[in-house]
Amino acid sequence: MRNSVVLLIILSFVFSGCKKEQEKTTVKKKAKIHEPQKAIEKHVLIPRKLLFGNAKKSGLQISPDGRLLAYIAPLNGVKNIHVKTLGKDDEKAVTADTHRGITAYFWNHDSKSMFYLQDKDGNENYRLYQVDLETLKEKLLTPEKGVRAGVIAMRKHIPGKMLISLNMRDNKVFDVYMLDLKTGKIKLDTKNPGNILGWVADYNLKIRAAIAMDKDAKKSLLVRNSVKSPWKTYRTWDYLESGGPLAFSKDGKSLLVMGNKGSDKSRLYSMDLKTRKITDIFKSKKADLSGVILNPDDNHVEAVEFEYFKKELVVVDSSFGKDIEAIRNIAGNLRYGIINRSHDNSRWIVATAGPVSPVKYYLYDRKADNFTLLVETRMELSKYKLSPMNPVSIKSRDGLELVSYLTVPTGKTSGKLPMVLLVHGGPWHRDSWSYDPMVQWLANRGYVVLQVNFRGSTGFGKAFLNAGNKEWGRKMQHDLTDAVKWAINKADVDAKRVAIMGGSYGGYAVLAGMAFTPELYAAGVDIVGPSSIETLLKTIPPYWKPMMAVFSTRVGDLTKDAAMIRERSPLYSAHKIVRPLAVFQGANDPRVKISESDQIVKAVRKSGNEVLYIVYSDEGHGFRRESNRMDFIARSEEFLAKHIGGHVEPFKAVKGTTAKKF
């Protein structure tokens, strides 16, 4: 198993009632209570359950021996791993979780057991489990409490061994351990000196590359010839650059590296570890590389991916071209990807998706040159009309091109429509052209949906990324403001009925928009968003401490930029938030602590304005459990319909949710 592709994007850190009007505010008119949107005739509501309920089957993977199919499916309403023999109706659940559900799993190379990672109620201290497919007996492989486990690598020619990362010795850093799958014992393999952000193992399961960071956010590529050899610096990237190692060649003599040193867009190259000669493999003038497809046997590059408006794949290994052409014939103009392959490379699981086409999984038999449709994850949606997502380019006030996506409700409309600005998290992340249940839900409820890749979003080159440095609440927020004004002028949007909604950084953007441009938004929905940059940076998870230099560079230094940080924190402008606000929070969120939501709700209410505040006691940075997710969507739908006018499916109490209104 590859190094979780941690180092592929090692610097793309994820952070993932109506109020009373006050005379002192510059907003003179009270937010109106709008009746459900009447502009769409003969409207058919898509039930929330079909969009946000657990899919009947998802996350398909083929077994290494090519005989079995695994997938995630509900068991008594909770996501669990199921397995069946291809071509037979012998499916069975192999796990029996009763609460949180399982979403991340992978096969053992012997096809006789599986592994999965799970945390407790959203605390992100993931534990590694193994389940035997015949006996259904489970083993907890990393039992230490308060420790976060990660998988670095396993190799099919080295059975019974796995390299894992644990912050067991020091909760701020991850050491490498060798896990013996037969005995369950772990042994320290490579100790973290304190500055290593990620590790890469070679073909023989030896840790031979690492990415380090210093106090000035300079990254260094460290490589050693063997586990007994000293580490040497092979490449550096300064605080404005990004890069990192991907994989060793099978013979261990070269290393694949991705980075943007000397170029605006990231490029892929191979480095000879003896001569240090660099051989370019691919670069795009349009966008950063977003993915690299490696041959599972020897790690040579088969294809690369990048995304500007839409995802594009370029074949590097010509022998791989026939397969990609076959997949493209099935996918048409949809996104597509190879999920996993059998060990002999004869059978693949392939997935396709698009804005109006939920994910479909196919079995691709390379020898027979045919595809078998295995699962349509949201087949029930086929009888409803979904709304196309249109890529658009919006100019910021200072001339940047903002790649954005506009989704307009289907059906007959008259007059100007309400809009929801849906802001992505990160902020070092991006919106993409694909199926998004939240977008389809909002469009079906009668809202124009606008998604904006504001400056600081990833994928558009280092100049665009660095344009967001220390611009939280300022130019990054200006991009969103400019996009809203564009939509009002170009997309027939009602200027008085624009809401802003988002999670994580998107939640911050909601609070910033409501506080810094109170006249622009009629309502806001904040999902696990930070309200104070200062308290956010002071309460990050301990294992983010080695990355503080990145936050100091891209967000702000707690000491040097104290005044700026305070100015950009919505908490200190809470009295300006006078339009309806809803806040949703997971009680156990390790990234954006519940205190971030508590303090903004308290501050807004102190000013005499009301906030809808909902906390889920068994969730973290987002809402994984179906009952909580359904509760959140239902409450958000009712809130938006009340304040900007839209269609609404009547709210019903959701059985099993831990939602509590404060």
Domain of 543, CATH number, reads: 3.40.50.1820
For residue 169, which amino acid is it? R
Please indicate whether residue 89 is annotated as part of the active site: no
Strands, sheet with 149-153, edge to edge from the N-terminal-most edge strand = 149-153, 161-166, 175-180, 186-190
Model confidence pLDDT, tens digit, residues 461-500:
999 999 999 999 999 999 999 999 999 999 999 999 999 9
Residue with the two structure tokens 């977008």: 439
Model confidence pLDDT, tens digit, residues 407-434:
999 986 778 999 999 999 999 999 999 9
Q: Is residue 590 part of a domain?
A: yes
Model confidence pLDDT, tens digit, residues 248-276:
999 999 999 999 999 999 999 999 999 99
Q: For 231, which DSSP code?
A: P
pLDDT value, residue 411: 81
Give the Cβ contact number of residue 375 at 10 Å: 22
3-class SS of residue 308: coil
Q: Is residue 335 part of a domain?
A: no
Any idea what the Cα angle at residue 613 is, between residues 611 and 618, rounded to 5°? 170
CA–CA separation, 250 and 298 (whole Å): 5
Tokens representing 575 are: 């009295």
Residue 1 predicted with pLDDT over 60: no
CA–CA separation, 422 and 450 (whole Å): 6
Model confidence pLDDT, tens digit, residues 493-526:
999 999 999 999 999 999 999 999 999 999 999 9
Q: Is residue 265 part of a domain?
A: no
- Of the residues 34, 424, 621, 647, only one is catalytic, namely 621
Model confidence pLDDT, tens digit, residues 573-612:
999 999 999 999 999 999 999 999 999 999 999 999 989 9
Please report, for residues 46, 263, 576, 614, 636, the alpha-carbon distance to residue 20 in angstroms, rounded to integers and kept in the order given: 33, 52, 12, 19, 20
Model confidence pLDDT, tens digit, residues 48-82:
999 999 999 999 999 999 999 999 999 999 999 99
> Which of 80, 121, 126 has its CA nearest to residue 101?
80
CATH number, domain containing residue 167:
2.120.10.30
pLDDT value, residue 247: 98
Q: Is residue 576 part of a domain?
A: yes
Model confidence pLDDT, tens digit, residues 173-194:
999 999 999 999 999 999 999 9
Q: Which of 175, 199, 215 is the last residue of a domain?
A: 175
- The set of residues, in sequence order, having a beta carbon less than 8 Å from that of 39 and lying 6+ positions away, is 413, 414, 415, 417, 446
Segment 447-456 shows an average pLDDT of 98
> Which of 141, 171, 137, 167 has its CA nearest to residue 154?
141
Q: Which of 118, 153, 175 is the last residue of a domain?
A: 175
Give the domain extent around 391.
382-661
Q: Is residue 310 part of a domain?
A: no
Per-residue confidence band for 532, with pLDDT thresholds at 50, 70 and 90: very high
Please report, for residues 234, 255, 258, 301, 317, the alpha-carbon distance to residue 271 in angstroms, rounded to integers and kept in the order given: 9, 5, 10, 13, 18
Q: Is residue 623 part of a domain?
A: yes
Segment 42-52 shows an average pLDDT of 93
Please indicate whether residue 290 is annotated as part of the active site: no
pLDDT value, residue 6: 34
Residue 217 predicted with pLDDT over 70: yes
Q: Is residue 227 part of a domain?
A: no
Please indicate whether residue 482 is annotated as part of the active site: no
- Of the residues 97, 175, 431, 589, only one is catalytic, namely 589
Residue 388 predicted with pLDDT over 90: yes
Segment 114-131 shows an average pLDDT of 98
Q: How many domains does the chain have?
A: 2
Q: Which of 141, 159, 175 is the last residue of a domain?
A: 175
- Of the residues 270, 504, 552, 597, only one is catalytic, namely 504
pLDDT value, residue 414: 74
Cα atoms in the 13 Å half-sphere on the side-chain side of 340: 21
Q: Is residue 288 part of a domain?
A: no
For the chain, what percent of residues have pLDDT higher than 70? 93
